[in-house]
Structure formats: C-alpha cells, structure tokens
Structure 1
C-alpha cells in the first residue's frame, strides 16, 4: 500500500480542506499519516488519533518541556528553578569559574527564551518543526505533502534528504507572498527558493494559479475549496436560537469562520444599525474575538449581536442550516483575500443558505452564476445593510436563492473536485493492483 505523509500547521480540529484530502486519499487506497500540532490547553485533543484503518493523525507537542513547565506552573516553577540554582552554582564555582560562567550564560539564555516573546516564539516553532521532521522522516512515505509554506521545510527534509528522494506536493491554501501580517518580499524569496524542491504545487483556484505563473513562471494545479456533498436534511438538528440566546422568531444572520483581520466583521457590526430585522451571530474564534465583542457591546444594537465559539467542522452543518442568510464579506486588503474562493461560501450553499458576498472575482462568479445570493461592495456598510434588508423583507426572494443552492451544490462540491487530487497522486505515486484490491476489501 502506498504511504502518504502530510503536514499541517494546526491542531487539525477545524481544517475541513485537509480532512477532505486525507479522507479522499485513504478511501482511494493510500495509507495517510497526518502530522499536526497538539494543543496543551485542550485535553480533549489526543496526540494520536486513528480516523480510519488508513488515516491516522499524529500531533507533536507544541512546547519544549521547560516552556511547558513554565506554562503549567508559572512563578512556582521559577521559584523551584531558583532554589536548585542556589544549590548548584556554589559547587560549580568551586570546580571552575569558567564552568560556572558558562552555566550562568545558559541560564540567562533559558530565561530569555521564557520571558522574551519573540525568542520564545522562535524556540517553540523550532521545537515543533524538529518534532515534525523526526516524526515524518521515520514514516518513510512514498509521497510527502506540505499544507502551506510553514510545513514545506519539514516536507522538503523528509522527502529529499534521502538516498532515494521521494515526490513532494506543496498544497498552498493561501497566497503566501501577498497576505496580511507577512513581509511580502521576504516570503516571496523564501517560497521561490523552496518550490525548487517541489514536484507538484497546488493552489486554490485559477486566479491564484495565474498569479503564481506571473511571479514564479509556472502554472500550478488547482484544487477548489468545495464542501463535501451531503443532504443537509440528514444532519442532526440543533436549537441554535437557544444556544446563542436569540429569540426563536428572529432570523439568524450568520458569519462562520475565523474572527480575523480583513474579513469585514467590524462592518457587519456597524451595519446592524441599519439592518431592520434579524440577529447577527458570529461562530468562530480568532485574534479579533475580544475586540469584536467590545465593539458589539458598545453598539446601539448590542442586544442583536451574539457570539459562539468555533465548533468542529463535522458538526458545523447543523449550525449553518439554521441561518437565514450567511456572510462572506472579505476586504480587499491583500491579494490573498481578493483571490479567495473560501470554503464557507460552499458550506452555506450545501446548507441551502443564501449568501451576501463580496464582489471579488472567484466569489462573485459563483454567486452570480448560480443566483444564490447578493453581491455587494464589502467595504460599504450601507450596501451590506441594504442587501440584508432586501432578503429578510422578501421571503420569496430568499426562497428562490435557497432553491438555487440545491442546483448549485451539484456543481460546486468535493465529489466533482477530488478526482483532480487523485490524478496528481496517481501521477507521482500510482497505486498498484494490490492497492486497489485492498481498497475494495
């Protein structure tokens, strides 16, 4: 059986795209080992998880033991360390001043790694990368797969630093060289060097593939971020109104996903001043969680704005189906946002929920071609509010959009897209007849 080792820089609890890819490969006869990161703050997440007979998840530790001890015990840990040093340092001085000085320098470095945030981050990330490499190398897979740039170094070392190098796939979920929070020129330089070791690159859509061709000189494969196809009526029902504290006769205006910069979330809160019906609900978490909650509390419509923490992707459809309308109002603050064809757009579609979306090329094309919602200038609060009012005040229009999603999801679903992933794998690590026999059994 052909073995695949895949890397992802998260806990693998909400990564629907990676789950789809791993499941598709394992269902098709490949043995998949996914290497992710453990979350010491969440005891429900296990370091090893066997999803199926051919799909396993290995989560490496996030913190080196010294940082983990500091995270767990804080000042108590520091007091214990200080007490031990009082006993050790005089003895080292007695042996040699040089040894004592070297020991004190090591202690100073250790303290810096704990207290200086930037050094601590480098130390932690370095430890994660090292553990990922160690775990991935011993897998000795037939093919290696890096999800995004932050796992590409690990995959390069595991696949190429061998007597017999292995094929390497680079699956870039984002436009690494033009996204928020990153130094564009620095990232472009790093990525352009590392892709020389890659056998096949994958990007999310053709807009991004054309951009890649422009800056790197080649056109990568595309793999759209479509949702799994399912019948929403088979998903368990929940009382989302009760969970979120929303009156049962009120319409839910839903944003689901990361609460991050550039997703138009502040504008949704501002737009509530002009939205005549419905309650705004955020489902997700991220860096903007507390700022958004503060902003909501200061809004005149604070009683119509609600928050729920993120939920596992397996359970999310049960929440999505309860919405009256869904939002995908990315801001044009970088090419990564402008070129997106985000998963949540297709999650809304699969749950028969009309969408109010930004007018960026990939998203606009889907919404307009399928007539499953309204396209707005996502930087304009008034346009967002007008679009919401148009849908919530016109039940017939809302039902038309909802009915259209039932046809659209027959086109925009993972069942129609996953053959492209299998074609890539079968090109670089084709399954044998024995593998197919195992799959059939």
Structure 2
C-alpha cells in the first residue's frame, strides 16, 4: 500500500493508488553497455531543492572521468548564474529541456541516473517518475536516502542511496558505478526487471480498470436495492 492509499482509506475504503509508472518500451535499453560513456544523468526540472547545487559540487570531486548531464530547465536563473562560477560546472553537460525521445537518448548513453532531491515533505511522500524511468532505461540509480525510495531501490537491488546534502557521497557513488561497469550493468538489469514485473503502466492500467468494474458493480447493486425498497 502506498502512502496515498494510507491517507485516504480511512475516509473512504474504495481507494486505490494508480501510479504514473512508465511504459517499458519507451525506455528500452538498446545501447550496449560497452558503448556507454562515463556519464551520470539527471533529467527533470532543475532547482536548488532538486539538488543541483550538490550535483555541481559533486562534479568537482569526481575522481573518475565521469561527466554529469543535467537535462532540464532551470527554474531559478539567479541560482544558475551562481553555480556557473563553481569549478564543477565545467564537468556538466547541459542539453536543456528535451522531449521524450531526447530524454530516452540521454538515458541510453548514461551509466547511472541521479535522483538526489532534497528530502522535502512533498518529495518524501511521492513516487518520483524519474526513478522508474531510470529503472526502465536499465541504468542504476543514485537516490536520496528517503525511506519510501530506499525501500524500492533496495528491494529491487537497482542502486544506492546517499545523503543528498553530501556532495562527496554523491561523487563517490558516481565514481563507483563508472569504475565498476559490470556492477552498474547488473543493477541496471535488476531495475529493468522490476519495471517489467511490477512498476509499469500496464499493471496500473489493469488496477484502474478493475476499480472501475468494482465501482460499477457496487453502483448497480445499490440501484437494485433502492428500486426494491421503492417497490
């Protein structure tokens, strides 16, 4: 049971979570692992709360040849200007905002996906789409050590969790996957398997359709009882 269901089930037992999990085919990992670059990627809106400052600092601390691709639009221009002055900025690649095909292409080339958002309440109680997109793309995940996310990452054996406020820990995790490609590939495969077996839109669509059918049946029964009471 996800947190959303837990919040509402006491109000109405007819509650179901329908999660925004990916279509596995959209992020099919077609690029051979041997052809991937020493690259970590972050895809999504870019802001201080989403950990961009720590990523720039981590980039400066990397000991491997890794670079960090940050694909997305900055929501805080002043913060971006300040980060550009830091030495780690030189190890960032900034393709800007991308369409869905562009996002998939970035993930196809990367060796690890980054999800080091600050543990704000609205993040801690949500299932971030990019976590499951990284998994669908067959790349391991470096995630903030948020209990809900940690449970998914650890149970799927698809990455590691770090303190999102610790640039050294983020850099060490990136170096670990870049310098150990076999481990990175295995964890990426684990994540992909979890998507195919559990965290996919087909599963969620089936859940939603079952909910509609159950609701329809309950309404029909209620209608029959009301008609019988009137008769």
Seen in structure 2, the aligned counterparts of structure 1 residues 292 and 308 have a Cα distance that, compared at 3 Å, is: farther
Task: Indicate the larger mover: 226-235 or 268-277.
Answer: 226-235
Contact 1:339 1:361 in 2 (8 A): no
**Which residue in the other structure is 1:316 paired with?**
103
**Alignment partner, residue 182 of structure 1:** none
Distance in 1 (CA, whole Å) between partners of 2:184 and 2:147 is 23
Compare relative contact order (CA 8 Å, sep 6+) and give the higher one, 1 or 2. 2
Instruction: Report the CA distance between 1:286 and its aligned residue.
Output: 4.1
| Correspondence for 1:415 among 202, 207, 212 | 202
Deviation string, structure 1 residues 48-85 (Cα, Å, up to 9, x no partner): xxxxxxxxxxxxxxxxxxxxxxxxxxxxxxxxxxxxxx
1:310-336 CA distances to partner (integer Å, 9 max, x unpaired)? 222254222221111111112122x21
Provide the rounded CA distance (Å) in 2 between the counterparts of 1:373 and 1:392.
13
Instruction: Find the counterpart in structure 1 of residue 85 from structure 2.
Output: 298
* Aligned counterpart for 2:164 among listed residues 375, 378, 381: 378
1:44-59 matches, within 5 Å, as none
1:339 is matched with 125
Q: Which residue of 2 aligns with 1:273?
A: 60
Per-residue displacement from partner, 1:292-351 (whole Å, max 9, x unpaired)? 532342111332112122222254222221111111112122x21111211111111111
User: Which of 325, 333, 352 is 2:138 aligned to?
Assistant: 352
Q: Does 1:284 align with 2:72?
A: yes
Does the CA contact (< 8 Å) of 1:280 and 1:304 recur in 2? yes
- How many residue pairs match? The answer is 211
The structure 2 residue matched to 1:263, chosen from 41, 46, 50, is 50
Runs of 4+ in 1 over 4 A off after TM superposition: 231-235, 427-430
Q: Name 2:17's counterpart in structure 1.
A: 222
Question: CA RMSD for the aligned pairs?
Answer: 2.6
* Structure 2 unaligned regions, length at least 5: 218-231
Provide the TM-score with structure 2 as the length reference: 0.80
Alpha-carbon separation, structure 1, partners of 2:21 and 2:216: 24
* Whole-Å separation in 1 of the counterparts to 2:53 and 2:28: 32
| Structure-2 change in CA distance of 1:234 and 1:401 (3 Å) | closer
User: What is the deviation of 1:415?
Assistant: 1.4
Contact 2:145 2:162 in 1 (8 A): yes
Pair 1:222–1:358, CA change in 2 (3 A): same
- Aligned partners of 1:251, 1:291: CA distance in 2, in Å? 30
Change in CA separation of 1:259 and 1:429 when aligned onto 2, cut-off 3 Å: farther
Rg larger in structure: 1
Output the CA distance in 1 between the equivalents of 2:102 and 2:87: 32
Gaps of 5+ in 1: 1-204, 238-247, 431-441
3-state SS in 2 of match to 1:308: coil
Q: Is this contact kept in 2: 1:352–1:403, CA < 8 A?
A: yes
Q: Report the CA distance shift for 1:388/1:359 in structure 2 as closer, same or farther (over 3 A).
A: same
Q: In the TM superposition, what are the counterparts of 1:67-78 in structure 2 within 5 Å?
A: none
Write the deviation string for residues 182-205 of structure 1: whole angstroms up to 9, x where unpaired: xxxxxxxxxxxxxxxxxxxxxxx7
User: SS at 2:93's partner residue?
Assistant: strand
How far the C-alpha of 1:367 sits from its partner, in A, is 0.8
Q: Quick one: distance in 2 between partners of 1:212 and 1:427? A: 18
Specify the SS of the correspondent of 1:230. helix
Distance 1:301 1:413, change over 3 A: same
Tell me the SS of whatever aligns to 1:341: coil
SS in 1 for 2:100: coil
Shift in Å at residue 354 of structure 1?
0.9
Does the CA-based 8 Å contact 1:264-1:330 persist in structure 2? yes
Cα 1:285–1:211 shift into 2, 3 Å: same
- Equivalent pair of 2:41/2:106 in contact (CA under 8 Å): no
